[in-house]
Amino acid sequence: MSASPPPLRLLRDDAGLWPRATDVLGRIPPDTGEEGGVGVVTWTTATREEVAELTSLRVEHPGPIVALLREMPSARGARAVSALVEGTVLADDLERSLAVTLAAVAAGQCVVPRALRQMLDRPPLSPRERQVLAMVVMDFSNAEIAQKLVVTESNVKSHLTSAFSKLGVTSRNAAAELILDHESGLGPGILRFSSEDSVGEDGDLPEPEYRLLTARRRAPGYAEGARSSHNRA
């Protein structure tokens, strides 16, 4: 199947991939002008700053958008592009995938590279892995976790290794960052055992956000008596 590129509109070339993309396509596709066609952005790794531009880009270009990524994004970036743009092409795949991706997106499809999808289709965490990760987020050491969960330290390490592999991270900090990022990471909800559990336990706090139950300041040093619950997971 040969796929000819639809009319394109370059929206941003932050990663400098546009000249190479036009070389790959064999010609500079016609610019559609103000509307229509497929919008193209080139990003480094779908950083927060790059993805944040999408709101204004959507106003500028209401049609579908394809992101060309210079490098493999983090799990956060993969999640963001998969959810927010209609197509993604990695720089290493430009020759093989750009034309067909543009054609598919122009035809109303969404296209995600297999490598990114594998990052998103992570295997589910076991309850024990969730418990261990939840304590890692709170900065507990392996020894402290082992003591609390009444398991051996090597058992904790084993659960962490497995959990890190499933999350696609290699360090405690990276795992914590991924878990706590409400905006574009996995979010703390990943540590819930099920949505039913959380509603049953905290029926009035279904949303992962701070809930200020008491917010009074009566005296210096005695602030807000008891702000009880923010449910962050």
Partner 1 sequence: MTIERDDLLDACLRLPGHVVHRSFIAETVLLNLQTGNYHGLNPVGGAMLEAVNDAPSVREAIERVADRYSEDPAVVEADLLALCSSLLDRGLMEVVTTSADE
CB of 166 to partner 1, least distance (A): 15
* Residue 210 binding partner 1, by CB under 8 A: yes
CB proximity list for 210: less than 8 A, separation 6 or greater: 230
Between residue 26 and residue 65, which ones bind partner 1 under the rule CB under 8 A?
none
* Residue 170 binding partner 1, by CB under 8 A: no
* Residue 173 binding partner 1, by CB under 8 A: no
Look at residues 63, 69, 41 and name the one whose alpha carbon lies nearest to residue 53.
41
Record the tokens describing residue 73, joined without a space: 């994004």
* Residue 201 binding partner 1, by CB under 8 A: yes
Q: Which residues pair with 40 in a beta bridge?
A: 10, 66
* Residue 228 binding partner 1, by CB under 8 A: yes
CB of 192 to partner 1, least distance (A): 5
* Residue 206 binding partner 1, by CB under 8 A: no
* Residue 177 binding partner 1, by CB under 8 A: no
Angle (CA) 120 125 180, round 5°? 70
Which of these segments, 1-9, 55-63, 112-120, 187-195, binds partner 1 (CB under 8 A)?
187-195
CB of 74 to partner 1, least distance (A): 23
CB of 185 to partner 1, least distance (A): 15
CB proximity list for 155: less than 8 A, separation 6 or greater: 146
Record the tokens describing residue 202, joined without a space: 């905290």
Cα separation, 49 vs 14, in Å, equals 11
Cα separation, 101 vs 94, in Å, equals 10
Write the Ramachandran bin of 190: left for phi over 0, alpha for psi from -120 to 50, otherwise beta. Answer: alpha
Q: Other CB atoms closer than 10 Å to residue 85's CB: what's the count?
A: 25
**Count, residues near partner 1 per rule CB under 8 A:** 37
Over the window 117 to 156, marking each residue x when it contacts partner 1 by CB under 8 A and - when it does not, the resulting string is -------------xx--xx-xxxx-------xx-------
Residues that bind partner 1 (CB under 8 A): 130-131, 134-135, 137-140, 148-149, 188, 191-193, 197-198, 201-202, 210, 213-214, 216, 218-219, 221-233
